[in-house]
Amino acid sequence: MHRQVPFHRHDLVPGDAAAVARVLATPMLTSGPVGREVEAQLAALLGTRHAGLVGSWTNGALAALLALDIGPGDEVIVPAMTFVASANVAELLGAKPLFADVDPDTLLLRPEDAVAALTPLTRAVIPVHLYGQMADMPGLRAALDKAGRADVRIVEDAAHCLEGTDRGEAPGAHSDIAIFSFYATKNVTCGEGGAYATNDPALAAAMAQTRLHGMSAGAADRFAGGAYRHWDMARLGAKANLPDLLAALLPLQLATIRDRLPRREEVAARYERGLAGLPIRMPAARPGTRSARHTFRSTCRRPCATRRSPRSTPRASASRSTTAPCRLSPTTAGDTATRRATSRQAMPGARARSPCRSTRRSRARTRTMSSTSCASRSRRSASARGSQVDSVTAKSSGARHSASQSGGAGRGTSPSAARPISTGVRAT
Secondary structure letter of residue 226 according to DSSP = G
User: What is the pLDDT, as a whole number, of residue 226?
Assistant: 65
DSSP states of 239-252 = B----HHHHTTSHH
Same domain for 283 and 316, yes or no, is: yes
CA 90 to chain centre: 18
Selection from 7, 154, 142 nearest residue 76 by Cα: 154
Distance CA 215, CA 236 (A): 8
227: pLDDT confidence band, cut at 50, 70 and 90? Answer: low
- Average pLDDT of span 188-217: 95
Same domain for 219 and 306, yes or no, is: no
Angstrom CA distances, 226 to 183, 222, 244, 297, stand at 35, 9, 20, 53
Number of domains in the chain: 2
Domain of residue 51, residue span = 31-249
Nearest 5 degrees, angle CA 406-CA 35-CA 212? 150
| SS3 call for 321 | strand
Distance CA 368, CA 200 (A): 63
Angstrom CA distances, 240 to 68, 232, 283, 289, stand at 16, 18, 33, 31
Same domain for 232 and 305, yes or no, is: no
Does residue 6 lie within any of the structural domains? Answer: no
- Average pLDDT of span 415-422: 34
Distance CA 154, CA 23 (A): 36
Q: Choose the final residue of a domain: 249, 281, 311.
A: 249
DSSP states of 365-422 = HHHHS-HHHHHHHHHH-TT--EEEEEEEEE------PPP-STT-------GGG--PPP
Strand boundaries in 150-220, DSSP class E = 153-157, 165-166, 177-181, 194-198
Percent helix, strand, coil in the chain, to 5, is 35, 15, 50
- For residues 84-112, one letter each, b for 16 or more C-beta atoms within 10 angstroms of the residue's C-beta and e for the rest, the string is ebbbebbeebebebbebebbeebbbbbbe
Distance CA 235, CA 360 (A): 57
Query: In this structure, which amino acid lies at residue 51?
Result: A
Angstrom CA distances, 171 to 42, 54, 101, 356, stand at 12, 17, 21, 34
- Average pLDDT of span 329-356: 38
Does residue 3 lie within any of the structural domains? Answer: no
Same domain for 162 and 116, yes or no, is: yes
Instruction: Report the DSSP pairing between strands 153-157 and 177-181.
Output: parallel
Active site residues: 186
Of the chain, the percentage scoring pLDDT greater than 70 comes to: 67
Does residue 25 lie within any of the structural domains? Answer: no
Angstrom CA distances, 12 to 171, 188, 246, 397, stand at 25, 9, 12, 12
Q: Tell me how crowded residue 400 is: count the other CB atoms within 10 A of its CB.
A: 26
Q: Tell me how crowded residue 404 is: count the other CB atoms within 10 A of its CB.
A: 12
Distance CA 411, CA 13 (A): 9
Q: What is the pLDDT of residues 25-53, one digit of tens each?
A: 998 899 999 999 999 999 999 999 999 99
The stretches of 198-335 forming alpha helices (DSSP H) are 201-210, 219-222, 244-247, 251-275
Q: What is the pLDDT of residues 69-123, one digit of tens each?
A: 999 999 999 999 999 999 999 999 999 999 999 999 999 999 999 999 999 999 9
Same domain for 232 and 293, yes or no, is: no
- For residues 68-81, one letter each, b for 16 or more C-beta atoms within 10 angstroms of the residue's C-beta and e for the rest, the string is bebeeebbbbbbeb
CATH, residue 40: 3.40.640.10
- For residues 291-308, one letter each, b for 16 or more C-beta atoms within 10 angstroms of the residue's C-beta and e for the rest, the string is bbbbbbbbebebebbbee
CA dihedral 88, 212, 248, 200 (to 10 degrees): 80
User: What is the pLDDT, as a whole number, of residue 220?
Assistant: 66
Query: Rounded mean pLDDT of the chain?
Result: 77
Does residue 351 lie within any of the structural domains? Answer: yes
| Cα end-to-end span (Å), the chain | 28
Q: Choose the final residue of a domain: 205, 226, 249.
A: 249
User: What is the pLDDT, as a whole number, of residue 309?
Assistant: 45
The answer to whether the predicted template modeling score (pTM) of the entire model surpasses 0.85 is: no
User: What is the pLDDT, as a whole number, of residue 6?
Assistant: 78
Same domain for 113 and 200, yes or no, is: yes
2: pLDDT confidence band, cut at 50, 70 and 90? Answer: confident
Does residue 15 lie within any of the structural domains? Answer: no
- Average pLDDT of span 268-278: 91
Distance CA 334, CA 340 (A): 11
Q: Indicate if the pLDDT at residue 353 is higher than 70.
A: no
Selection from 287, 292, 279 nearest residue 354 by Cα: 279
Selection from 374, 283, 361 nearest residue 320 by Cα: 361
Nearest 5 degrees, angle CA 331-CA 336-CA 342? 45
Q: Indicate if the pLDDT at residue 24 is higher than 80.
A: yes
Does residue 357 lie within any of the structural domains? Answer: yes
Same domain for 297 and 234, yes or no, is: no
Lowest mean pLDDT among 59-73, 188-202, 329-343: 329-343
Same domain for 292 and 244, yes or no, is: no
Q: Choose the final residue of a domain: 196, 215, 249.
A: 249
Same domain for 418 and 286, yes or no, is: yes
Instruction: Report the DSSP pairing between strands 75-79 and 96-100.
Output: parallel
Q: What is the pLDDT of residues 93-106, one digit of tens each?
A: 999 999 999 999 99
